[in-house]
Structure 1
Amino acid sequence: MGNHVVCFRRKAKPKPKLKRSSSTRSVPGSKERASFRKDSAQQQALAYALQQQQQQNGHARYDLSFERSSSTRNNPLGMPKGLPRSASARPRSSNDPLLQPVQLLNQDVKLPADLETKHFVLVHGGGFGAWCWYKTMALLEDTGFKATAIDLTGSGIDSTDPNKVTSLSEYVKPLTEFCEKIGKDEKVILVGHDFGGVCISYAMECFPSKVAKAIFISAAMITNQQRTFDIFAKEVMESDSLLRKAQIFIYANGSENPPTAIELDKELLREMLFNHSPSKDVALASVSMRPIPFAPFLEKLSLTEKNYGSVRRFFIETSDDQAITPSVQENLIKLNPPEQVYRVKGSDHSPFFSKPQALHKLLLEIAQIGPNQ
């Protein structure tokens, strides 16, 4: 069962030492050799993933030709013109890290009495935990909503070794167990960030009648029979990609076997995930982030129109995202169009840190959207 708490209030536990048969970290005095070993490990892991894709499919089913421009003003990817957009343009304030402005933001908010649900379920991305939602939870609760943050298996304060997670169903088990306990006449709004998008898609397929809306925040919004790895294949294969540089593959079962997890280089965290986030939140992340189980990234997800397709989907773009870049986000939207697209301007990959009030405003707006006529 997952833990539904905000773990930043608790004292961080020492991370368990992971057995590594093959290390990709630098060796003092041997920079060239370390660089070669890291590249070799990455190539091995990527080759394995691509091999699995070829064996399962025989050919690519998805368009991975991401355009490099981050501009969306001229609709470069040919998105359906009828797809509405909304954007938050609030300039960044030095007070963003503080929670005192919450009262000013929420004091005039009056929620409709006929809301379909007031319960948000927040699902973190790869390497994150329930702790990353602490600002969002405070804002939602002060507005009159209920907010539950889930720790997925091997994440946050869940004690499972990420290297032991071998399937997507195992990874999302805390979320599915939570959804199983939702009352028959109750519904929730699922919010997924990053890899959490795949996790809420899994829950949408399993529990469509319990999900009022699904919100993808710079998240993997995949299609039927697609893998998360497919989304990032092109970016990861590029030698100068920040995503590739930040990855450290862990081989808990020995270097002759596939990787078991991915760790992110702490020296590149700010540049890739938190380029606009307050220093205190970057510090929180640096001591709280954990390795990401690798196997779920390679697993195809079966999604049906009857279940997954019946849930209303919304996508929130992050305009200055260095992890899931704007071009990748646009491609996700093009291949699997949601009901509506929003944007948090000036946000990095983690708007819950860099633009919490702007993100909160969009969550409120989506929650108040009435049923389709």
Structure 2
Amino acid sequence: MMDERKKHFVVVHGACHGAWCWYKVAALLRAEGHKVSALDMAASGIHPKRAEEVGSMAEYNQPLTEFMAALPADEKVVLVGHSQGGINISLAMEAFPHNISVAVFVAAFMYGPHLSHRAIKQEDLSLAKLLVRGMPMWRDGNNGDDEEYALSEEKYGSVKRVYVVCGKDKSLKEEYQRWLIQMNPTHEVCVIPHADHMPMFSQPHQLSSCLQLISHKYHHSSSS
């Protein structure tokens, strides 16, 4: 049985990036004895698919979906999404709420049952200069957004949520992050004042500490 003090973090990258972007934070968490699973979404990082082969969000999110489906029924993970990865983890929260002790949105797009995907959707910026790949683009269709991105209070809403605000973010500016939180309130807000849009690079120790504090608090509150 896994030591209750040690958590399993599942981390999801943002647009154009891959699992590689978490290497500093993953090393810090593993040094503390935690397990870290950093995933490449479809056509991202070293995932073999090409961008033009990904036709929907469901296909793009398939690596996370398959990973969550393979977890033991009684295992709970700390699910972390950065930037566009907030959309990926939201869909996982809807599909696998019982396997998530807490979901952490790191300067991430965060919609919900009462804040539609359409409302938070905006053009992504290419942020990294190294190892980036083109972001898969697909046509949602007239009704695709409503059905494919649907979230419910019963499933998504049952998962504890924490938002990590990055104070120096020039891509998702702090005002926008605060707007997301106001429109879709979380259980807690953590602030890393000097972090830019890539806190895993600019403030890895602070982000790692924040994730550990969150995981400790919400693991116990969700395991009753």
TM over 0.5: yes
Q: Which residue of 2 aligns with 1:169?
A: 58
Q: Which of residues 171, 181, 194 in structure 2 aligns to 1:323?
A: 171
- Superposed CA offset, 1:118-176 (max 9, x none): 10000000111000000011000000100000000010001211122121111100001
Q: Distance in 2 between matches of 1:299 and 1:152?
A: 19
Q: Which residue of 1 aligns with 2:19?
A: 130
Q: Give the number of equivalent residue pairs.
A: 213
Residue type at the aligned position of 1:365? L
- Superposed CA offset, 1:161-220 (max 9, x none): 112212111110000100111011111110000010000010111111111110000001
4+ residue stretches of structure 1 with deviation over 4 A?
none
Q: Which residue of 2 aligns with 1:345?
A: 193
Is 1:289 paired with 2:132? yes
Q: Which residue of 1 aligns with 2:207?
A: 359
Q: Max radius of gyration: which structure?
A: 1
Q: Distance in 1 between matches of 2:76 and 2:184?
A: 23
* Contact 2:110 2:120 (C-alpha < 8 Å) held by counterparts: no
1:296 positional shift: 7.4
| TM-score, with length taken from structure 2 | 0.89
Q: Distance in 1 between matches of 2:185 and 2:138?
A: 27
* Contact 2:8 2:35 (C-alpha < 8 Å) held by counterparts: yes
| TM-score, with length taken from structure 1 | 0.54
Secondary structure of the 1:290 match is coil
Residue type at the aligned position of 2:204? P
Q: Which residue of 1 aligns with 2:98?
A: 209
Is 1:143 paired with 2:32? yes
Is 1:299 paired with 2:145? yes
* Contact 2:24 2:200 (C-alpha < 8 Å) held by counterparts: yes
Secondary structure of the 1:148 match is strand
* Contact 1:129 1:156 (C-alpha < 8 Å) held by counterparts: yes
Which aligned pairs between 1:49-88 and structure 2 lie closer than 5 A? none
Structure 1 stretches lacking a partner, 5+ long: 1-112, 237-242, 247-263, 270-284
Q: Distance in 2 between matches of 1:360 and 1:289?
A: 23
- Superposed CA offset, 1:247-267 (max 9, x none): xxxxxxxxxxxxxxxxx3xxx
Which aligned pairs between 1:114-263 and structure 2 lie closer than 5 A? 114-115=4-5, 118-224=7-113, 226-227=116-117, 230-233=119-122
* Contact 1:168 1:299 (C-alpha < 8 Å) held by counterparts: no
* Contact 1:121 1:188 (C-alpha < 8 Å) held by counterparts: yes
Give the CA RMSD over aligned residues.
Answer: 2.0
Call closer, same or farther: CA 1:296–1:367 in 2, change over 3 Å: farther
- Superposed CA offset, 1:257-305 (max 9, x none): xxxxxxx3xxxx4xxxxxxxxxxxxxxx423011112227783411111
Residue type at the aligned position of 1:371? S
